[in-house]
Amino acid sequence: MVINMAANASEAELQHVIERIQECGFQPHITRGAERVIVAAVGAGGSRSALEALKAAPGVEDVVPIAHPFKLVSRQTRPERTRVMVGEVCIGGEEVVVMAGPCSVESREQILATARGVKAAGATMLRGGAYKPRTSPYDFQGLGLEALQYLREAREATGLPVVTEVMSTEDIPLISEYADMLQVGARNMQNYALLRQLAKSRKPVLLKRGPSASVKEWLLAAEYLLSGGNQNVVLCERGIKTFETEMRNTFDLAAVALARELSHLPVVADPSHGTGRRDLIQPASRAAVAIGADGLIIEVHPCPERALSDGAQSLDLNEFAKMMRSLTAPLRPLAALAEVGS
Ligand code: PEP
Ligand code: MN
């Protein structure tokens, strides 16, 4: 249930509502908007009818059920869009945030060269995997702590905040020391032990959509983070499994718009994993921005043919710079794209 306070409700009236919600067996979550305060009463097992009776309490405008199973993630509990700060970078504001870097951190030289190159092209955050979720146990698994040290050095050299994946609860403290944002990979979207632990952390989380997850399941995964106390959540669409075989995944662009409609959380798009194809990164990025994505996360490697993971979907530094220029070219005519140069 959502309790919408009247615009002129007093602090004492708000406190009374909060106490009543607790007495009814729910947890109150307060959102202070520009004009009014909204209190979401969430939890299981409480008395709904007692909550409905709060309509009669002083300072309450109305009490309405939350239409979706994801409560705190829903725009009903927070009509204004959430902005997530990662260092100085604001995700969910006016600017499209571009996170760029290699799939995996492979060496000091590789990550430093990539960080400098993507920064020069206009990226605002650095990505790079230190702990890699690989489909095969025989594939490169990431450099771990060594990679985290290189990422820190790259951040110091460029000022770009770093996002990197955390695969297990035991790695959270160490990775949190080095990274500015923690990525929950697609394969871990429904790892509830991991989500619960990340909820207790204040670090911003980039929550990727699982390859077979519905939008509802994705938003419910985000609900674990918000209900556990971490409001700094950014959703990431990275493609889903379909019958299509020419692309690694099917980049579900409409889900970017839908997630932004259903939720106040920022949504970024990952055309690299979404398509799996270097030739599609530019058009897919432009489409993602056009449909409303708050940001992009793009794999870039100084020499994609030598990449230890995801080379086929990685741009080199020139291609990335060209893609960045293309983001501001008009949607039509396509001929305008030729002007962004190669
Ligand atoms: C990645 O970002 O390199 C990655 C493994 O992504 P995903 O979890 O979306 O597959
Ligand atoms: Mn990758």
Residues with CB under 5 Å of ion ligand 2 are: 103, 310
3-state secondary structure at position 44: coil
Secondary structure (DSSP) of 186-197: GGGTT-HHHHHH
The backbone region for 84, taken as left when phi is positive above 0, alpha when psi lies in -120 to 50, beta otherwise, is beta
Helix spans in the chain (H): 11-23, 48-52, 108-120, 145-158, 172-178, 192-199, 215-227, 253-262, 271-275, 281-291, 317-326
Residues of the chain with pLDDT under 50: none
In the prediction, which pLDDT does 294 show?
98
8 A C-beta contact, residue 7 and residue 36: yes
8 A C-beta contact, residue 100 and residue 127: yes
3-state secondary structure at position 69: coil
In the prediction, which pLDDT does 210 show?
98
Question: Is 185 close to ligand 1, i.e. is its CB under 6 Å away?
Answer: yes
- Residue 72 sits at φ, ψ, to 5 deg, of -75, -20
CA-239 nearest atom, ligand 1: 9
Q: Which of 276, 268, 269 is nearest to 250 (CA)?
A: 276
In the prediction, which pLDDT does 335 show?
79
CA 60 to chain CA centroid, Å, is 34
Burial of 8 (0-12, 13-18, 19+ CB in 10 A): exposed
In the prediction, which pLDDT does 342 show?
62
- Radius of gyration of the chain from Cα atoms? 21
- pLDDT tens per residue across span 116-155: 999 999 999 999 999 999 999 999 999 999 999 999 999 9
Q: What residue owns the CA closest to ligand 1's atom 9? A: 186
- pLDDT tens per residue across span 8-56: 999 999 999 999 999 999 999 999 988 899 999 999 888 889 999 999 9
- Asked, as a colleague might, if the bond just before 102 is cis with ω within 30 of 0, I would say no
- Ligand 1 pocket mutation pick from 270, 296, 313 by most atoms within 8 angstroms of CB: 270
pTM of the full structure:
0.96
- Ligand 1 pocket mutation pick from 237, 273, 300 by most atoms within 8 angstroms of CB: 273
CA 310 vs CA 125, 206, 304: distances in Å = 19, 19, 8
Q: What residue owns the CA closest to ligand 1's atom 3? A: 103
Cα(127) to ligand 2 centroid in Å equals 10
